[in-house]
Amino acid sequence: MSKSSFSNPSRCIFAIGNTGTGKSFTATFFGAKNVKIGRSTNSEINEVTIYNIKDGGFYIDTPGLDASHENTNDEKIKRSIFFKMMEEGIENITTILWFVAPDDRAKASYKRQAKFIETLTKYYTGNAWDNTIIVIKGASDTNSAGPRDAAREMATSLSRTGEFKILLFESLPSNSVYRRYESLMKGHVERPILLEIRRVKCLKCPEETDPRFASPKCHLDSESFHPDTELVHQGNVIDIHPASHFQKHSDLYVGATTRKVSDHSPEAWTTRVFTFGGIKPKRSKHIPGYWKCCNKGRC
């Protein structure tokens, strides 16, 4: 798939959530072709896949994030998502479709997925939940409190967060499902989630990528840590780590800025000459962001 396929897309739909809840099948409602669709709770999607959809947009399908994959490294998945988006020249998301299956025991899974959405859009200054639709596989009277409660712990507001309950996608006419999504997505294209993905060349290795997704071996003063603990019953109640340890940046990320510097373009020099140095033109210079632990922006 070439970058030209995604030039000036009208929308970018990002699908995430449980396996077997219709993530891949939903792509067909938006005109995606040759979609690989699973027919069970076992995931058919093991990597990030991007489909062209109608009106020049695209649909990003991702591997399932549910209890059966609780040992999956979320940072690795997130990195693969951004690498794929960088590869295709995608810089923003218009709609996040969060697919969930109702389960009273899935509180930890909902929290994990809500946190994943929040960290995915970490550097967006707006509220990503305004562009999120919770897609619940179940009847119209299915309780949706679990996913919303999990999101509420992360979000500043859920007042614009959409909700779509559907028992079987195949049971409704495709036009009916499409119109429902269209109504829930109203306004998303006008206020997309800007991811601010940048390519920066590392001075210490051949890698050229966004500093947030640089490979750990070169770019991290790393520390080993457990992301969370949770209580489980194993005879007595004990603390366990829900996932294996992995690496993270040990310091804060400093966002990109701009500053005014002297303009040495021919036009600027002409202005200086005609004003005898009275006017000194300036231009804006982009200062890339960096992790404080990564040698002050060297990579």
User: Last residue of some domain: 194, 225, 247?
Assistant: 194
pLDDT tens, position by position, 200-217: 777 777 777 776 666 666
Number of domains in the chain: 2
DSSP state of 293: T
What is the spatial distance between Cα 45 and Cα 292, in angstroms, rounded to a whole number? 36
- Specify whether 143 is located in the same domain as 230: no
Domain end marker among 194, 210, 240 = 194
- Pairing verdict, β 236-240 and 246-249: unpaired
For 35-69, the pLDDT digits (tens) are 887 655 455 556 889 999 987 888 999 888 755 45
Do 173 and 204 fall into the same domain?
no
**68 and 188 share one domain:** yes
| Residue bearing tokens 């109608």 | 54
CATH number of the domain bearing residue 49 = 3.40.50.300
pLDDT of residue 40: 52
pLDDT at 218 over 50: yes
Q: Of 155, 175, 194, at which residue does a domain stop?
A: 194
How far apart are the C-alpha atoms of 214 and 199, rounded to whole Å? 10
Q: What is the pTM of this model?
A: 0.64
pLDDT at residue 237 tops 70: no
Residues 207 and 297 in one domain: yes
Do 131 and 219 belong together in one domain? no
Q: Look at residue 116 and tell me whether its pLDDT is greater than 70.
A: yes
pLDDT band at 187 (very low <50, low <70, confident <90, very high): very high
Residues 184 and 231 both lie in one domain:
no
pLDDT higher at 243 or 32: 32
pLDDT at 4 over 70: no
Arithmetic mean of pLDDT over the chain: 76
pLDDT at 172 over 70: no
Same domain, 49 and 86: yes
**128 and 262: one domain?**
no
Classify the phi-psi angles of 77: left when phi > 0, otherwise alpha if psi is within -120 to 50, otherwise beta: alpha
**How far is the CA of 257 from the CAs of 89, 128, 145, in angstroms?**
22, 22, 40
Residues 149 and 226 in one domain: no
Tokens at 48, concatenated: 């990030």
Residue 273 CB burial class (10 angstroms; 0-12, 13-18, ≥19): exposed
What range does the domain containing 211 cover? 198-299
* 17: pLDDT strictly greater than 90: no
pLDDT of residue 157: 84
